[in-house]
Amino acid sequence: MIRTLRPRDPGLLSAGGAGGLLSMEAMFPPRTLRDITRAALQRFFMKIPPDNCVRKSSMCIIGDQGCGKTGLLMAMYAEACRRYGTDRVHPIYTDDIRVALDMIDDRPVQLVMIDDAMTWASSRQVSEQTEIIKTYNRSRHVYEDKLRGKPGVILYIWAWQRFRELDPSFRQADVIVFKTGIGEPSEAALVEKFIGTAYYAELSRIWDAMNTGDESAKSRCVARITSQDVARGTGILTFDYGPAPGFPEMVRHEEYFADEDVADEILDEYAEKPEWKWRIEIYRFHAADPKASQQQIADALSPLRGSPIRQGYVSESLRRVKELIASK
């Protein structure tokens, strides 16, 4: 979709202007806005590799509440089904990458949609970030294990309201989509620098149209293909805004890990009791490394205990701790 821009105010300064000088873009604005929908989708929806490997791509969606981020996620799911085949796509819709990692299966396309992403992926939550980034970085390897040598693609989409609040590991995406502008001046300047003055002006028009009740504006965004420079990589992205049959319900962190949180409370309580201390250490060792054999667990914990741990004691401890958790 190509559209003629309205003439710019010749007195308007660019966000990065200094000493009152106009940027080249402000002096000579582009005559048309490019539609890069096809190019952006080609970058995101990678072809399943012919060799036995896993490839990944990512998208970041930024916009205010009610701007249609979930609608775009639904459209991306529908597009994934069209390109790869519905039976080959596994949609995962959650607010935490750790939930997604646990839900990955062996279908050739994993569409991982992290909505409300700042809840568990904020640059301000430093203590949480190390674990979450590690999870994100190893998710491709987890998927490789599930596929057992078969090829596949894993597609990540991060959706949140503020560009800067997402950790750089998550906003370093192949395609970034802006659905609304930003009111806070310093972040607005950052986004304008990222997409250019003319496209930021268009983004502001889209944002204003939404705020005046124009629902059709939700299907129009400004996107940037990050491997290209601002001039070549920025343009308009459009999509069909509507229901997507088969789109999953969101699986939230607090619901998914509710049983795990209760179990942790039980383990913490009983770890203070001498008769349970080493049984719980064995259980936690096994939970952290499920592939470890009972003998390996015994060999690893015996020096810490100061006395030998028998393999039979490991087996009995795992059974008893599981029964303890189930009884509460």
> How high is the pLDDT of residue 258?
58
The span from the CA of 60 to the CA of 284, in Å, is: 36
pLDDT at position 138? 66
Residues of the chain with pLDDT under 50: 1-22, 24-28, 122-127
pLDDT of residue 177: 97
Strand residue runs (E) in 30-186: 32-33, 54-62, 89-94, 109-114, 152-160, 175-178
Looking at residue 206, its pLDDT comes to: 96
Rounded Cα gap, residues 189 and 196, in angstroms: 10
Structure tokens at 129: 């970030």
pLDDT at 1: 35
DSSP single-letter state for residue 58: E
Q: Which of 133, 111, 112 is nearest to 122 (CA)?
A: 133
Say what the pLDDT of residue 118 is. 58
What pLDDT score was predicted for residue 50? 85
Task: Count the neighbouring beta carbons within 10 Å of the beta carbon of residue 101.
Answer: 17
pLDDT in tens, 71-109: 999 999 999 999 999 999 999 999 888 888 888 898 999
> To 5 degrees, how large is the angle CA 31–CA 221–CA 173?
110
Residue 300's identity, in one-letter code, is A
Residues 170-204: tens digit of each pLDDT:
778 999 999 999 888 998 999 999 999 999 999 99
At 197 the pLDDT is 94
